Amino acid sequence: MLPEFRNEPFGDFSSSERRASMQRALRHVAGQFGATYPLVINGEHILREEKLASLNPAEPARVVGYVCKGDQELANQALSAAEAAFQRWRQVPVEARAQLLLRAAAIMRRRKEELAAWMVYEVSKTWVEADADVAEAIDFCEYYARQALRLQGASHPLTPNPGEYNELRYIPLGPGLAIPPWNFPLAIATTLTVAPIVTGNTVVLKPSPRAPVMAAKLVEVLEQAGLPPGVVNLLPGDDAVIGDYLVDHPKVRFIGFTGSKAVGLRVLGRAAVRQEGQHWLKRSILEMGGKDATVVDETADLEAAAEGIVAGAFGFQGQKCSACSRAILVDGVYDLVLQRVVERTRELRLGNPARPETNVGAVIDKRAFDQISAYIAIGQEEGRLVAGGEVVDHELLKDGGYFINPTIFADVAPRARIAQEEIFGPVLAVIRARDFEHALEIANDTEYGLTGALYSRSVERLQRAREEFHVGNLYLNRKCTGALVGAHPFGGFNMSGTDSKAGGPDYLHLFTQPKVVAEKL
Ligand code: NAD
């Protein structure tokens, strides 16, 4: 019997001991820069000439690692390996599959600072953000191990029918794809990989080309934990070469995807087309973008609201699906909250996240830098610039890092582009609402529905928000980021995805099919 699930505690970097050991981990990891990571197919490590170079966004001249690239032939091999391994793996008792996840969690716990250090370099997470990413990955392993035992280790009661023995079992689907984004390169790669395998499926993991080293680290951890060959196959590569090819492949039974709306819709459309030799409907589990709002009314604790808005908007440079990209403030407190948000934002330290004092690192790459800069130009037309927006200081630019100052536009219209389109960077649109009613209307007026927050002391309004603020994850009097596995199962509505909840009690169902057997006695 496993002890009850508890969230992995976050690192306390106020302790000098902890700071010193994180510094050691950063040095250790920097000493391994430039290594080459193989593809992994059927347990074999395959080295190739064609490689992705993973660059440090804060110092792009530094290559964090080279990851070998797959092509369509290797995609075929990876799916054949997953198909063959499925026949063995689905018969492995759920207890043994759960043990694999628990061992992986233990290894991640031991390697916590090292894994966090890789993320500091590969995606420019601050220490705190990188530590939280590892903690979440550990949580997914611990949580799904327990959920799998609940789902597949016990029988599920059915209405008794005299003269029959009837049972309901949740069986796995088959070989599938795990397609994570780059922004939670360990946690989301973990949830999309370990949830299917603990329920008896096998996986081809196609990581984001923007964070492929972390995916290689995840597979390394799973191998250390005793992963059998073929159960997880690692296939990095160019999306243009293997993206559609994998999604279209007739051997694929399910697709676990997290990423942008545009790619999610593309995956959904292609997965719906039956291919020659395909005997099933592909199940698509899609987690997509957000345009998340924090509403503040005149009864709220305004300081707490300002703090929550700034943390939600600029944590990890605003590159979270849950990031607060709209602050909707009611008229009576608009000026005051805006002022405190701007003041708090000016206190944030932009810089290389390898340094502990940094609050805001670099954005992921040149493409993101250009896209976010273009939105800042649009914002100049659509709002009043009250923070950021200007070029960053020379010290940061000398390494060529992709730094963008946390940027705030005030007086933005609810239907403005910067209030409607996901920017995925450190840009906040502040919108004035006449009153609470109007604020709620504005909050719901997007195509997304991922997270939202309301700061209010009014019991009636908190209740209204519960009923009418249409998001998958609603936070009352706290920031709209930072979901915890188990405590805040996570996933959004509308264009934010297929309404699933990672880290929740229903999640593993998505990777199974219920089978009922009725036996006449
Ligand atoms: P993205 O859509 O560009 O890429 C996501 C994944 O899809 C990557 O692995 C990418 O390589 C792959 N991909 C790209 N084209 C493909 C194709 N044609 N076929 C198959 N795969 C393809 O997203 P991103 O930039 O990596 O991540 C940021 C996005 O993810 C944001 O929109 C963010 O809101 C969203 N996100 C959502 C959640 C959530 O839980 N809802 C969590 C994190 C990130």
> In this predicted structure, what is the pLDDT of residue 218?
98
| Structural tokens at position 144 | 């799904």
Within 13 A of 347's CA, how many CA atoms are on the CB side? 10
From the CB of 422, is ligand 1 less than 6 Å away? yes
From the CB of 494, is ligand 1 less than 6 Å away? no
- The rounded distance, in Å, linking the Cα atoms of 506 and 474 is 18
> In this predicted structure, what is the pLDDT of residue 107?
98
Q: Whole-model pTM? A: 0.98
- The rounded distance, in Å, linking the Cα atoms of 85 and 464 is 50
Q: CB neighbours of 377 closer than 8 A, spacing ≥ 6?
A: none
Q: Considering only CA atoms, which residue is closest to atom 22 of ligand 1?
A: 243
Are 64 and 55 a contacting pair, CB within 8 Å? Answer: yes
Only one residue has tokens 């029988």, namely 155
- The rounded distance, in Å, linking the Cα atoms of 269 and 249 is 13
Burial state string for 502-521 with b = 16 or more CB within 10 A and e = fewer than 16? bbbeebbebbbeeeeeeeee
Q: How far is the centre of ligand 1, averaged over its atoms, from the C-alpha of 97 (Å)? A: 28
73 φ/ψ angles, rounded to the nearest 5 degrees? -65, -45
Mutate to test the pocket of ligand 1, among 79, 179, 316 (most ligand atoms within 8 A of CB): 179
pLDDT < 70: residue spans in the chain:
391, 393-395
- The rounded distance, in Å, linking the Cα atoms of 429 and 384 is 10
State the closest ligand 1 atom to the C-alpha of 260, by its place in the atom list counted from 1.
32
From the CB of 321, is ligand 1 less than 6 Å away? yes
Alpha helices in 111-232, H assignment, sequence order: 112-123, 127-152, 187-198, 212-224
Q: CB neighbours of 32 closer than 8 A, spacing ≥ 6?
A: 65
From the CB of 243, is ligand 1 less than 6 Å away? yes
Q: How far is the centre of ligand 1, averaged over its atoms, from the C-alpha of 287 (Å)? A: 8
State the closest ligand 1 atom to the C-alpha of 492, by its place in the atom list counted from 1.
41
From the CB of 492, is ligand 1 less than 6 Å away? yes
- The rounded distance, in Å, linking the Cα atoms of 480 and 482 is 7
Q: CB neighbours of 267 closer than 8 A, spacing ≥ 6?
A: 179, 247, 255, 257, 284, 286
From the CB of 371, is ligand 1 less than 6 Å away? no
Are 158 and 514 a contacting pair, CB within 8 Å? Answer: no
Q: Considering only CA atoms, which residue is closest to atom 15 of ligand 1?
A: 239
What type of residue is 222?
L
Q: CB neighbours of 487 closer than 8 A, spacing ≥ 6?
A: 7
From the CB of 425, is ligand 1 less than 6 Å away? no
Only one residue has tokens 């550990």, namely 138
Mutate to test the pocket of ligand 1, among 54, 188, 239, 266 (most ligand atoms within 8 A of CB): 239
**Helix, strand and coil percent figures for the chain, each rounded to 5:** 40, 20, 40
- The structural domains of the chain, ordered by start, are 33-288+500-520 (3.40.605.10), 292-484 (3.40.309.10)
State the closest ligand 1 atom to the C-alpha of 290, by its place in the atom list counted from 1.
34
Mutate to test the pocket of ligand 1, among 67, 129, 183 (most ligand atoms within 8 A of CB): 183
Are 39 and 236 a contacting pair, CB within 8 Å? Answer: yes
Q: How far is the centre of ligand 1, averaged over its atoms, from the C-alpha of 89 (Å)? A: 28
Q: How far is the centre of ligand 1, averaged over its atoms, from the C-alpha of 229 (Å)? A: 27
Q: Considering only CA atoms, which residue is closest to atom 35 of ligand 1?
A: 259
Catalytic residue ranges: 287, 321
- The rounded distance, in Å, linking the Cα atoms of 326 and 341 is 12
292 φ/ψ angles, rounded to the nearest 5 degrees? -85, 140
- The rounded distance, in Å, linking the Cα atoms of 117 and 272 is 40
State the closest ligand 1 atom to the C-alpha of 263, by its place in the atom list counted from 1.
2
Q: Write the burial class of residue 296 (CB in 10 Å: 0-12 exposed, 13-18 middle, 19+ buried).
A: buried
Q: How far is the centre of ligand 1, averaged over its atoms, from the C-alpha of 306 (Å)? A: 30
- The rounded distance, in Å, linking the Cα atoms of 396 and 360 is 12
> In this predicted structure, what is the pLDDT of residue 399?
80
Q: How far is the centre of ligand 1, averaged over its atoms, from the C-alpha of 184 (Å)? A: 11
Q: CB neighbours of 510 closer than 8 A, spacing ≥ 6?
A: 195, 254, 256, 283, 285, 500
From the CB of 133, is ligand 1 less than 6 Å away? no
Q: How far is the centre of ligand 1, averaged over its atoms, from the C-alpha of 258 (Å)? A: 5
From the CB of 175, is ligand 1 less than 6 Å away? no
State the closest ligand 1 atom to the C-alpha of 208, by its place in the atom list counted from 1.
9
From the CB of 181, is ligand 1 less than 6 Å away? yes
Strand partners, 168: 516
Q: What is the pLDDT of residues 481-498, one digit of tens each?
A: 999 999 999 999 999 999
Q: Write the burial class of residue 411 (CB in 10 Å: 0-12 exposed, 13-18 middle, 19+ buried).
A: middle
From the CB of 290, is ligand 1 less than 6 Å away? yes
Mutate to test the pocket of ligand 1, among 188, 234, 321, 427 (most ligand atoms within 8 A of CB): 321
With CA atoms as reference, report the closest residue to 23 among 114, 111, 156.
114
Starting at the earlier edge strand, list the strands of the sheet with 324-330: 384-387, 407-410, 427-433, 324-330, 292-296, 451-455, 473-476
- The rounded distance, in Å, linking the Cα atoms of 297 and 436 is 6
> In this predicted structure, what is the pLDDT of residue 390?
79
- The rounded distance, in Å, linking the Cα atoms of 101 and 402 is 36
From the CB of 379, is ligand 1 less than 6 Å away? no
Q: How far is the centre of ligand 1, averaged over its atoms, from the C-alpha of 259 (Å)? A: 2
Q: Write the burial class of residue 398 (CB in 10 Å: 0-12 exposed, 13-18 middle, 19+ buried).
A: exposed
3-state secondary structure of 90: coil
- The rounded distance, in Å, linking the Cα atoms of 223 and 147 is 22
From the CB of 488, is ligand 1 less than 6 Å away? no
> In this predicted structure, what is the pLDDT of residue 394?
60
From the CB of 288, is ligand 1 less than 6 Å away? yes
CB atoms within 10 A of CB 45: 13
Q: What is the pLDDT of residues 230-254, one digit of tens each?
A: 999 999 999 999 999 999 999 999 9
